[in-house]
Structure 1
Amino acid sequence: MQLGFVLHRRPYRETSLLVDLFTEHSGYIRAVCRGGQRKSLAALMQPFYPLTLSFKGQGELVTLLQTEPRGMPHTLTSERLYAGLYVNELLVRLLPIGVPCPELFSVYQSTLIKLADKASASLEPMLRQFEFILLTELGVAFDFQHDAHGVPIESGGRYVWYSEQGFCRNDSDANGISGDSLLEIGFGQLNNIANQRVAKQLCRQALSGFLGKKPLKSRELFAQFLRGKRR
């Protein structure tokens, strides 16, 4: 048995569900939940609900054997719901099957807790922190202390990030990122708007290399939500 969360689910045959799961020890897995469309099981097979799980099988698709609640579900509303859907979709789209990633799982848990706490900090810092850890898991580790040549980043310089190299200094590039911002982000200072914008720009640029041209459904849903609020 291990702790896990449902990331996404869909009907399978007459009574079952296909579920994407993120688990503490097995990472991302896909499973058949037999009888999952029954009310008792369907109530558990929901995103953001901590569960204790066991399964059998190997390869691309396993079979759930046992599912039990492990505490109360995290209730996400409004913008925080779409942020949770976004995080889940990134995991489904980007993680390989069956590769343990305990640090990312721990950050995912803490992100859900923060998203459910309406009194917690704004969405931007927690989403960026999650994205940075996810990118590290995917092999992209930003070095906010040194440029691509190993030279310490200077506060007065301007830098451009290249996926295959890192940060390259280019003081003549008006769109370059200030060294001040990079150094501050490296120390986790994501509470001011300027650093939030830089961090978002970097994460989107890096994630786009993995996501390709297929858009994220969670972003589309969030855009629809915002349009509805403006009416």
Structure 2
Amino acid sequence: MKEQLYNFYILHQRKYKENSLLLSVFTRELGKVSVIVRTNKKTVNLYQPLVELRGQISVAKKADSLSKLYNVEFVASCYQKSYINLLSLQYANELLYMLLSHSHEEDILFSKYDFLLKNIDENNYKYLLRMFELELLESLGQGIYVDCDVDGVPIDSGFRYVVLNNDFKKCLNAELNTISGASLLKINQSISAWSETDLKEISKVVRAFVDYVLAGKQLKSRKLLIDYLSLKK
């Protein structure tokens, strides 16, 4: 029986025995899956992050076995981007690799990731990263819900709030790290509805939720991204 063809992206790779690579790949149909692929001098450079590939995957029948990848072909590269875009994409890649569990369908998340890779530019990268992070949090069961605050009171656009243990608490003082209720209520709206102020405030919220899920894990790509943005100020 011929195995199904899958479009996929590589999240991580390492050498596995002689002439083989162990890859963590991300597909629409299978989500994140570990596969082994045989390589040679002609094909080894094909297996890089931020490159869309297509191939057949023989899914392992047992939990302790490796799925096999073969008949791989190139589809598209996302490497021809500016440095800030590449850092942003590496950050998205690292988030998926570190946080996503294995072996379940990820149709919506894959679509958002694919859209991010193919459409990011220097004008929209902050917006598209927030869109991707919000969908990833949703996929992880950590979606941001802004109907009510920690006391069960509906979020009010006229008040400001602080993030408290992945919830929101009304704040009577307009402190630096507070977020306006008006921006909070836009979190789950289309990013086209966000103003620059909304983006800045929503970014604070998303960062807090992502940090909570990371549970102290450090992302190399995030540090590079923050350092680069600091130099540009």
The change in CA–CA distance for 1:41 and 1:163 in structure 2 (over 3 A counts) is farther
State whether residues 56 and 64 of structure 1, in contact with CA within 8 Å, keep that contact through their aligned partners in structure 2: yes
Equivalent position of 1:125 in the other structure: 127
- Farther-moved stretch of structure 1 (129-138 vs 47-56): 47-56
Tell whether 2:40 aligns with 1:23.
Answer: no
Question: Which of 210, 213, 229 is residue 210 of structure 1 equivalent to?
Answer: 213
Contact 1:32–1:61 at 8 Å: present in 2 too?
Answer: no
Query: CA distance change for structure 1 residues 226 and 10 in 2, over 3 Å: closer, same or farther?
Result: farther
Shift of 1:73: 1.6
After the TM superposition, which residues 88-167 of structure 1 pair with which residues of structure 2 at under 5 Å, given as runs?
88-115=93-120, 118=121, 121-163=123-165, 166-167=167-168
Deviation digits for residues 136-155 of structure 1 (CA, Å, limit 9, x no counterpart): 11112222343345533221
Q: Indicate the SS of the match to 2:8.
A: strand
1:217 CA drift (Å) = 1.3
Distance 1:180 1:216, change over 3 A: same
- TM-score, normalising length: structure 1: 0.84
Matches for 1:70-85 after TM superposition, within 5 Å? 71-75=75-79, 76-85=81-90
Structure 2 CA distance for partners of 1:61 and 1:104, relative to 1, 3 Å: farther
Moved more, 80-89 or 187-196: 187-196
Structure 1 residues 25 and 225: alpha-carbon distance in aligned structure 2, compared to 1, 3 A threshold: same
CA distance in 2, matches of 1:67, 1:86: 29
Instruction: Give, in whole Å, the separation in 2 of the partners of 1:140 and 1:214.
Output: 17
1:184 and 1:152 map into 2 onto residues whose CA distance is 14
For 1:188, the equivalent position in structure 2 comes to 190
How much does 1:223 deviate?
A: 5.0
> How far apart, in 2, do the equivalents of 1:14 and 1:60 lie?
21
Q: Among all aligned residue pairs of Structure 1 and Structure 2, give the percentage whose two residues are the same amino acid.
A: 30
Q: Secondary structure at the match of 2:77?
A: coil
Shift of 1:89: 0.4
| Distance change >3 Å, CA 225–CA 42, structure 1 → 2 | farther
The letter of the residue matching 2:199 is Q
Q: How many residues align?
A: 223
Structure 2, gaps ≥5 residues long: none
Give the CA deviation at 1:221: 3.3
Deviation of 1:185 (Å)? 3.3
Length-normalised TM-score, structure 2: 0.84
What is residue 50 of structure 1 aligned with on the other side? 52
The SS at the match of 2:168 is: strand
The structure-2 alpha-carbon separation of the partners of 1:222 and 1:61, relative to structure 1 and needing over 3 Å to count, comes to: farther
Structure 2 CA distance for aligned equivalents of residues 109 and 210 of structure 1? 22
| Uncovered stretches (5+) of structure 1, i.e. residues with no partner | none
Quote how far apart the aligned CAs of 1:28 are: 0.5
